């Protein structure tokens, strides 16, 4: 028996009950066991950073990550879902620093590396708990108990294996490069990290004079003018660059006594003059090439000794000045600045390139050295006394002031541009800085990565060649190492004598090294604190203590290099590291690679999407240039086949979501108020997943009635009456099979059902087929819309048209006292609801389960699975779809809708009965026309009922109400007629439609002529449109024109009046809060003879509709209401002792 259903569903409460049910009965486990051994659907969980609270955007990701595994499981596939957590890296370290109130690396060292990483691990655990709560609350089924965690020893060792493999193949190298450097944090960052930290800022920019010098090294009156937005790099200046084929000029201020002359690119003179509000005269013109080789004085004497320029021997003979010389460079442009570029090789990649090129010109060891007066912590060294010990960016102003005092500052202004800051500490500007760092040779694999990418299915498609493809095209070597603490330690040990290195692929391999020592450091720590996680043995600082005998130099030791690695490498290694592969989990890895499906937000193009693809391509792809057989271990695509890229979620105001702006509600609030299903449905059915979606409480709330509540109302309607009528699926059949849609039904085949039932089931099956097609193509948005339309059809057509059947007398049973038609209605709605519950299960798992649990398990009996998620997804049965019926029902719904529109146009309310409605089908010549018309005609009663009319007819003389016009079918004729189309179109439009159609019917073809041409047309070249003649209450749609008779006879008017009276009484009953079974006595008072006569003529009707045991006329002292212009008083009294007992559900006559 079905449990009673509350009319006002409390979704959050229902969800809590369902969640408990899942937990107690282990339903997720069962759903896996059910499919064990079946083909796999492989899903990878992109590990959320266990740092910071989950926000609404994460809810979307988790909803989509849940939907497809649930769906594929119901489709019979085996989909393991292993949770994972990203736990290393800067985000965690920065969070911990905030917590203990420190910032710089020195402070961490002072705090102690050991307690610091303990803090990091604790912090990660805290956030993992929060994430687990969210995961369960939103109904994301994933195995949290067996999650992979990037700091676990087995995970770290997998990463070690990957790095050792790359190292042994020469793909992991230490390089001296200009890197983006986070000075406060003391580490380099990867391009991906840098890209996340750009902010628009105004920096001081300065135009500085670099005086040319004479042979003795004395400044002349001529100066180069260079421009920079980083004044702090000026003390490290080494060169000035010009473009050889660009025109330069020497200028002097107009009319000035000052002898000072400036050199800059000619196209930029006007710009500079405007900035300075001074006029210049051109003294001399010369090409850039003529400037190359000249020496100048740098703005600061940090490194340049006084006196003439120093020279050194060139590699190819001769000599040249070592520095502070003008060089030619192609990167010089006239887009901004002066066409003369200040070159400080320590602080720019191109600048560094200039230095490298210069060094190559000189004899080995004699060329320019790298000049750098900035320490790794971002402060000036003593070499630049003015700024010694201060952060470089803070010295910009003092530097400008000093330049001005010495007459070298030509101009100063604010320059607004994007500049990178640390992505985790966004007050810290990054600087470019020369640093030894570890890199992965990804750029060598650019083409391989592109080829791999090409085989991936991206949704939306443009990601492949757009954002992601572009990112791969511009690939640079992965700056891997971090001079930090909480991360996977770089598994490279270096010989202290020779500097030679080797990579270690596992902890066991390390322990097996000869002369191993230092493992006791962790052992002792563990003894002192037994709570200490064993995973920390492979972390700093413990791992740093482990040393062994050098194979390269007898008597010396191998020590680990100090760096840890970029945490993005951790997550990218997840496809194999989650299993600890290759040290363990070979079977799992082989079975679970590559993924069939992953999904994350678009910011992961540079994050997890890239790190996975890069690592996988390098490890399992072919090495470029290599022809070794078996080099390509995995065919493309890997490591994932399909990726849904989600748009970013915006706050209520359309801006980026931000805690400080408070422009979004916490997910918890939404869950507690509306429920997880409401949020899921809003995300899944509201828009395609890749559009940036606005997170908006009002929109979430308003999305509930159209689907969730509507579904619930149908379900509630069904249960209310099924309980009253004792509809018992289990009792009727003994057991019901839920495996196929053909549930037992007391011996009746679907084909024996009535038409409305067959229509409903046709719609159900057509919807299932369509949804399966869409979901297989990862189009859950389209599938959700289709599902929504089905629920609309059930609610607004099937239930509405079937109400009388549910209220009819008799039991829903097959016996002699049973009502067969009623039973059919119950079976149909029952099957429909069960199928909808299954169709909806991946989208709204809680409500679907609630409906299933009551209808199938409680009401249906032993044949049903205990959870909707343990059933098979309905794929629809094509042979149960009656295509004609579907089309015709759509037609009749359209006719009803048009009829109402026609009535509304004449202000004829539906309560007023009308004599007749006539329907003209728009296209009498379509292949279905005859059948459809006959069918419609046989449904006259239905149309009359919907429209409250006495008669219905398909109009045989359409000319009375409508005219037919023919139109060219442009799609057909366009290709054939080309330029003549407009003339043909006009000629056809002008033709007498009826005559033309008659001719066509007679001859099968007709010729239409126009000035200068003609064409022979067939029926399919034309479209027929009908339109109402003026003066008729008609409404036209694409399929039909519906005309209602507006003529009102006295009898019709009387009937209309009576219905108004009934309406008034019902309203009165409602206002008195009567039970719907209460019997009443009615006394009417009216001075209108027409109204009285109308009521008297329909006394029985009035009594039956209002459940009145007696209707009479009499006096009245209460309010008089208006009934279509007639006054009416209503006195109403509940009959004594006549409760609802005598009235059953079939009480209406």
Partner RNA sequence: GCGCGCGUAGCUCAGUUGGUUAGAGCGCCACCCUGAUAAGGUGGAGGUCCCACGUUCGAAUCGUGGCGCGCGCACCA
Distance in Å, CB of 608 to RNA, minimum = 13
Tokens 């009937």: give the residue.
1055
Q: Pick one of 170, 293, 389, 982: the residue that binds RNA (CB under 7 A).
A: 982
Does position 658 interact with RNA (CB under 7 A)? The reply is no
Does position 189 interact with RNA (CB under 7 A)? The reply is no
Q: Pick one of 474, 531, 628, 740: the residue that binds RNA (CB under 7 A).
A: 474
Pairing of strands 1013-1018, 1005-1010: antiparallel
SS3 1127: strand
Q: Please list every residue from 118 through 177 that binds RNA, using CB under 7 A.
A: none
Does position 714 interact with RNA (CB under 7 A)? The reply is yes
Cβ distance to RNA smaller for residue 729 or 913: 913
DSSP structural state of residue 709: I
What string marks each residue from 405 to 434 as x (binds RNA by CB under 7 A) or -?
A: ----------x-xxx---------------
Mark the segment that binds RNA (CB under 7 A) among 143-151, 192-200, 273-281, 296-304: 192-200
Distance in Å, CB of 875 to RNA, minimum = 22
**Distance in angstroms (rounded) separating the CA atoms of residues 507 and 519:** 11
Does position 192 interact with RNA (CB under 7 A)? The reply is yes
Cβ distance to RNA smaller for residue 526 or 972: 972
Identify the sign of the CA torsion 216, 220, 222, 227: positive
Tokens at 986, concatenated:
């006009």
**Distance in angstroms (rounded) separating the CA atoms of residues 54 and 649:** 13
Cβ distance to RNA smaller for residue 537 or 837: 837
What string marks each residue from 567 to 606 as x (binds RNA by CB under 7 A) or -?
A: -----------------------------------xx-xx
Distance in Å, CB of 274 to RNA, minimum = 17
Cβ distance to RNA smaller for residue 140 or 718: 718
Active site residue ranges: 47, 86, 568, 604, 608, 656, 659
Please provide residue 663's backbone torsions phi and psi, each rounded to the nearest 5 degrees.
-100, 20
Mark the segment that binds RNA (CB under 7 A) among 79-87, 616-624, 824-832, 907-915: 907-915
User: Cis link prior to 582 (omega < 30° from 0)?
Assistant: yes
Q: Please list every residue from 715 through 754 that binds RNA, using CB under 7 A.
A: 716-717, 720
Distance in Å, CB of 724 to RNA, minimum = 8
DSSP structural state of residue 863: T
Tokens at 381, concatenated:
């060294």
**Distance in angstroms (rounded) separating the CA atoms of residues 373 and 829:** 81
DSSP calls for 159-190: HHHHHHHHHHTT-EEEEEEEEEEETTTTEE--
**Distance in angstroms (rounded) separating the CA atoms of residues 1147 and 809:** 7
**Distance in angstroms (rounded) separating the CA atoms of residues 1005 and 1014:** 13
What string marks each residue from 203 to 242 as x (binds RNA by CB under 7 A) or -?
A: ------------------------xxxx--x-------x-
Ranges of H-type helices in 705-819: 710-725, 729-733, 755-776, 780-793, 799-807
Q: Pick one of 16, 77, 195, 398: the residue that binds RNA (CB under 7 A).
A: 195
Q: For residue 419, what are the β-bridge partners?
A: 199
Cβ distance to RNA smaller for residue 22 or 717: 717
SS3 921: strand
Pairing of strands 319-321, 311-313: antiparallel
Q: Pick one of 105, 177, 482, 694: the residue that binds RNA (CB under 7 A).
A: 694
**Distance in angstroms (rounded) separating the CA atoms of residues 1009 and 1007:** 6
Burial of residue 717 (CB within 10 Å: 0-12, 13-18, 19+) is buried
Q: Pick one of 411, 811, 911, 1029: the residue that binds RNA (CB under 7 A).
A: 911
Mark the segment that binds RNA (CB under 7 A) among 51-59, 691-699, 856-864, 933-941: 691-699
Does position 278 interact with RNA (CB under 7 A)? The reply is no
Does position 1063 interact with RNA (CB under 7 A)? The reply is yes
Cβ distance to RNA smaller for residue 180 or 507: 180
Distance in Å, CB of 439 to RNA, minimum = 14
What string marks each residue from 866 to 905 as x (binds RNA by CB under 7 A) or -?
A: -------------------------------x--xx--x-
Distance in Å, CB of 7 to RNA, minimum = 3
SS3 414: strand
Identify the sign of the CA torsion 872, 875, 879, 883: positive
Does position 275 interact with RNA (CB under 7 A)? The reply is no
Residues that contact RNA, how many (by CB under 7 A): 114
Neighbours of 589 (CB within 10 A): 18
Does position 1067 interact with RNA (CB under 7 A)? The reply is yes
Cβ distance to RNA smaller for residue 547 or 912: 912
Cβ distance to RNA smaller for residue 132 or 980: 980
**In which element (H, E) is residue 941 found?**
helix 940-947
Does position 1013 interact with RNA (CB under 7 A)? The reply is no
Q: For residue 844, what are the β-bridge partners?
A: none
Cβ distance to RNA smaller for residue 348 or 621: 348
* Closest CA relative to residue 622, chosen from 640, 639, 636: 636
DSSP structural state of residue 346: G
Contact call for residues 428 and 394 (beta carbons, < 8 A): no
Q: Please list every residue from 292 through 351 that binds RNA, using CB under 7 A.
A: 331-333, 335-337, 339, 341-344, 348-351
Q: How far is CA 105 from the centre of its chain?
A: 37
Q: Please list every residue from 1030 through 1059 that binds RNA, using CB under 7 A.
A: 1035-1036, 1038, 1059
Distance in Å, CB of 783 to RNA, minimum = 13
Q: Please list every residue from 448 through 467 that binds RNA, using CB under 7 A.
A: 462, 466-467
**Distance in angstroms (rounded) separating the CA atoms of residues 442 and 614:** 7
Does position 1135 interact with RNA (CB under 7 A)? The reply is no
Q: Pick one of 52, 686, 754, 810: the residue that binds RNA (CB under 7 A).
A: 686
Q: Please list every residue from 778 through 797 that binds RNA, using CB under 7 A.
A: 792, 795-796
Does position 703 interact with RNA (CB under 7 A)? The reply is yes
Identify the sign of the CA torsion 287, 290, 292, 294: negative
């Amino acid at each position: 028996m079905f449990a009673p259903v509350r009319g006002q569903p409390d979704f959050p409460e229902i969800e809590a009950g369902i969640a408990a049910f899942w937990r107690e009965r282990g339903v997720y486990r069962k759903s896996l066991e059910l499919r064990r051994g079946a083909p796999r659907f492989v899903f990878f969980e992109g590990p959320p950073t266990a740092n910071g609270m989950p926000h609404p955007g994460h809810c979307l990701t988790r909803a989509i990550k849940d939907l497809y595994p649930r769906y594929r499981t119901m489709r019979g596939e085996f989909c393991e879902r292993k949770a994972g957590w990203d736990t290393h890296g800067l985000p965690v370290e920065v969070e911990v620093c905030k917590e203990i109130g420190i910032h710089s690396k020195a402070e961490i060292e002072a705090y102690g590396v050991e307690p610091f990483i303990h803090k990091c691990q604790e912090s990660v655990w805290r956030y993992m708990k929060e994430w687990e709560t969210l995961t369960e609350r939103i109904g994301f089924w994933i195995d949290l108990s067996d999650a992979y965690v990037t700091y676990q020893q087995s995970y770290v060792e997998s990463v070690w294996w990957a790095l050792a493999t790359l190292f042994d193949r020469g793909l992991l190298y230490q390089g001296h490069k200009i890197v983006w450097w986070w000075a406060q944090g003391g580490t380099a960052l990867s391009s991906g990290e840098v890209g996340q930290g750009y902010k628009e800022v105004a920096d001081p920019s300065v135009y500085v004079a670099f005086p040319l010098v004479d042979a003795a090294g004395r400044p002349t009156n001529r100066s180069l003018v260079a421009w920079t937005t980083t004044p702090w790099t000026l003390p490290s200046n080494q060169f000035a660059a010009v473009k050889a084929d660009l025109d330069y000029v020497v200028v002097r201020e107009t009319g000035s006594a000052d002898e000072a002359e400036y050199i800059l690119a000619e196209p930029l003179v006007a710009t500079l003059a405007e900035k300075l509000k001074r006029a210049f005269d051109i003294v001399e013109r010369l090409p850039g090439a003529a400037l190359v080789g000249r020496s100048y004085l740098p703005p600061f004497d940090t490194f340049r000794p006084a006196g003439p320029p120093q020279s050194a021997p060139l590699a190819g003979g001769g000599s040249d000045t070592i520095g502070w010389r003008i060089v030619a460079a192609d990167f010089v442009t006239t887009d901004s600045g002066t066409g003369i570029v200040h070159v400080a090789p320590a602080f720019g990649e191109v600048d560094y390139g200039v230095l490298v090129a210069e060094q190559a010109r000189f004899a080995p060891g004699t060329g320019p050295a790298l000049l750098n007066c900035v320490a790794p912590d971002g402060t000036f060294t003593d070499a630049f006394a003015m700024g010694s010990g201060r952060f470089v960016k803070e010295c910009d102003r003092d530097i400008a002031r000093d330049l001005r005092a010495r007459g070298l500052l030509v101009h100063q202004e604010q320059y607004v541009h994007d500049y990178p800051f640390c992505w985790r500490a966004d007050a810290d500007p990054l600087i470019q800085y020369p640093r030894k760092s570890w890199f992965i040779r990804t750029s060598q694999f650019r083409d391989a990565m592109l080829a791999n990418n090409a085989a991936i299915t991206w949704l939306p498609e443009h990601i492949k060649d757009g954002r992601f493809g572009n990112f791969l095209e511009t690939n640079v070597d992965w700056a891997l190492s971090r001079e930090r603490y909480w991360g996977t330690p770089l598994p490279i040990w270096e010989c202290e004598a020779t500097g030679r290195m080797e990579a270690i692929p596992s902890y066991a391999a390390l322990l097996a090294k000869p002369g191993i020592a230092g493992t006791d450091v962790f052992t002792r720590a563990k003894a002192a604190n037994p709570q200490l996680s064993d995973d920390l043995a492979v972390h700093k600082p413990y791992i740093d203590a482990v040393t062994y005998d050098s194979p390269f130099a007898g008597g010396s030791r191998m020590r680990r290099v100090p760096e840890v690695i970029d945490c993005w490498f951790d997550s990218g290694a997840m496809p194999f590291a989650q299993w600890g592969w290759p040290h363990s989990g070979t079977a799992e890895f082989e079975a679970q690679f590559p993924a069939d499906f992953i999904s994350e937000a678009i910011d992961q193009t540079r994050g997890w999407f890239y790190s996975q693809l890069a690592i996988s391509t390098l490890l399992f792809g072919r090495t470029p240039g290599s022809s070794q057989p078996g080099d390509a271990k995995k065919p493309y695509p890997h490591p994932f086949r399909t990726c849904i890229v989600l748009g970013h979620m915006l706050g209520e105001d359309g801006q980026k979501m931000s805690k400080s702006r408070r422009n979004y509600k916490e997910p918890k609030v939404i869950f507690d108020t509306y429920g997880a299903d409401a949020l899921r449905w809003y995300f899944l059915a509201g828009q395609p997943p890749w559009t940036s979606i606005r997170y908006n409480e009002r929109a979430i709330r308003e999305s509930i009635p159209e689907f969730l509540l509507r579904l619930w109302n149908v379900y509630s309607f069904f249960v209310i009456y099924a309980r009253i009528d004792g509809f018992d699926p289990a009792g009727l059949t003994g057991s019901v099979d839920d495996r196929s849609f053909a549930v037992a039904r007391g011996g009746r085949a679907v084909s024996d059902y009535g038409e409305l039932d067959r229509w409903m089931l046709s719609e159900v099956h057509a919807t299932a087929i369509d949804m399966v097609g869409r979901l297989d193509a990862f189009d859950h948005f389209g599938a959700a819309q289709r599902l929504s339309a089905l629920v609309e059809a059930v609610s607004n057509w099937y239930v509405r048209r079937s109400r009388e059947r549910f209220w009819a007398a008799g039991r829903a049973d097959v016996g002699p006292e049973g009502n067969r038609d009623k039973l059919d209605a119950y079976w149909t709605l029952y099957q429909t609801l069960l199928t909808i519950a299954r169709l909806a299960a991946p989208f709204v798992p809680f409500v679907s389960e609630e409906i299933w649990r009551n209808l199938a398990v409680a009401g249906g009996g032993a044949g049903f699975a205990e959870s909707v998620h343990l059933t098979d997804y309905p794929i629809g049965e094509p042979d149960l779809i009656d295509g004609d019926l579907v089309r015709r029902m759509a037609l009749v719904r359209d006719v009803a809708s048009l009829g109402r529109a026609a009535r509304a146009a004449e202000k004829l309310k539906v309560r007023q009965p009308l004599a007749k409605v006539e329907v003209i089908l728009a296209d009498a010549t379509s292949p279905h026309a005859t059948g459809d018309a006959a069918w419609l005609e046989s449904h006259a009663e239905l149309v009359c009922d919907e429209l409250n009319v006495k008669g219905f007819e398909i109009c045989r003389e359409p000319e009375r109400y409508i005219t037919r016009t023919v139109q060219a079918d442009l799609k057909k004729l366009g290709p054939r007629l080309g330029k003549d189309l407009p003339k043909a179109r006009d000629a056809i439009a002008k033709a007498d439609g009826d005559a033309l159609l008659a001719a066509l019917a007679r001859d099968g073809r007709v010729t239409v002529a126009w000035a200068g041409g003609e064409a022979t047309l067939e029926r399919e070249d034309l479209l027929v449109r009908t339109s109402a003649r003026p003066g008729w209450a008609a409404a036209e749609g694409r399929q039909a024109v519906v005309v209602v008779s507006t003529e009102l006879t006295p009898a019709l008017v009387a009937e209309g009046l009576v219905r108004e009276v009934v309406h008034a009484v019902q309203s009165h009953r409602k206002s008195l809060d009567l039970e719907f079974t209460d019997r009443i006595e009615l006394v009417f008072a009216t001075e209108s003879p027409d109204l009285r006569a109308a009521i008297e003529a329909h006394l029985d009707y009035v009594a039956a509709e209002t459940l009145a045991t007696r209707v009479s006329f009499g006096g009245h002292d209460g309010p008089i209401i208006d009934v279509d212009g007639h006054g009416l008083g209503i006195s109403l009294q509940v009959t004594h002792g006549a409760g609802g007992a005598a009235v059953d559900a079939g009480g209406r006559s």
